[in-house]
Amino acid sequence: MTRLLMALTLLSIAGAAQAQIRTPASPVAPPQGSAEPVPTSALDGNWRGTSDGGSCNAPLDYVLTIENGFVDGSAYDTTAHGPVPNTHHGPPPAPTPGLWQIHGVARTSGPFSLISVASVKGSDRREGKLSAQSDGSGLVVTETGGCRRTARLVRG
């Protein structure tokens, strides 16, 4: 009798456990046409180019990516030098920034502003402002201060 009672108890526990197990729901696909379209810009893509030297006589190599109108990129000064041995025992020249980070929001009509921040050590934070504008199939980027360099970028 106790064996029968024990068997019935185990069966009832197994049945309760079986009832609590859920079957996975079938994945529900969103209705057609309900997804929001990703906004795009006519300027989306990868842009490359080199600026003139400006008043600093130091051209920059630009690499920009524009995605959904957001600009992210960098400019690299190939003439920038870090600390060098000082054989004249005079004060060493200050190192120039070699890498600039560039951010902003692109507009297809008219000029738009970009911010550039130099990658330098210590508290010497250097910022610049750039103005960019679509020019036919290219993009013209101009420094609004500093060296006043101008770069013509092409899709790359």
Summarize pLDDT for 57-84 with one digit per residue, the tens. 889 999 999 999 999 999 988 776 666 6
Mean pLDDT of 17-43: 61
Query: Residue 79's pLDDT is what?
Result: 73
Mean pLDDT of 14-28: 55
Residue 143 tokens, joined: 């420094």
* pLDDT higher than threshold 60 for residue 18: no
Query: Residue 115's pLDDT is what?
Result: 94
Burial zone of 104 (CB within 10 Å; 0-12 exposed, 13-18 middle, 19+ buried) = buried
Query: Residue 123's pLDDT is what?
Result: 67
Q: Report the C-alpha gap between 22 and 18 in whole angstroms.
A: 9
Query: Residue 58's pLDDT is what?
Result: 85
The SS3 assignment for 63 reads strand
Show me where the domains of the chain are located: 45-81+94-155
* pLDDT higher than threshold 60 for residue 24: no
Strands 45-50, 70-77: pairing kind? unpaired
Query: Residue 138's pLDDT is what?
Result: 92
pLDDT digits (tens, 9 = 90+) for 90-148: 766 565 667 889 999 998 888 999 999 887 666 667 788 999 999 888 999 999 988 89
Mean pLDDT of 8-29: 57
Sign of CA dihedral 33, 38, 44, 45: negative
Contact yes or no for 126/140 (Cβ under 8 A): no
The one-letter code for the residue type at 153 is L
* pLDDT higher than threshold 80 for residue 11: no
Mean pLDDT of 16-41: 58
Query: Residue 53's pLDDT is what?
Result: 87
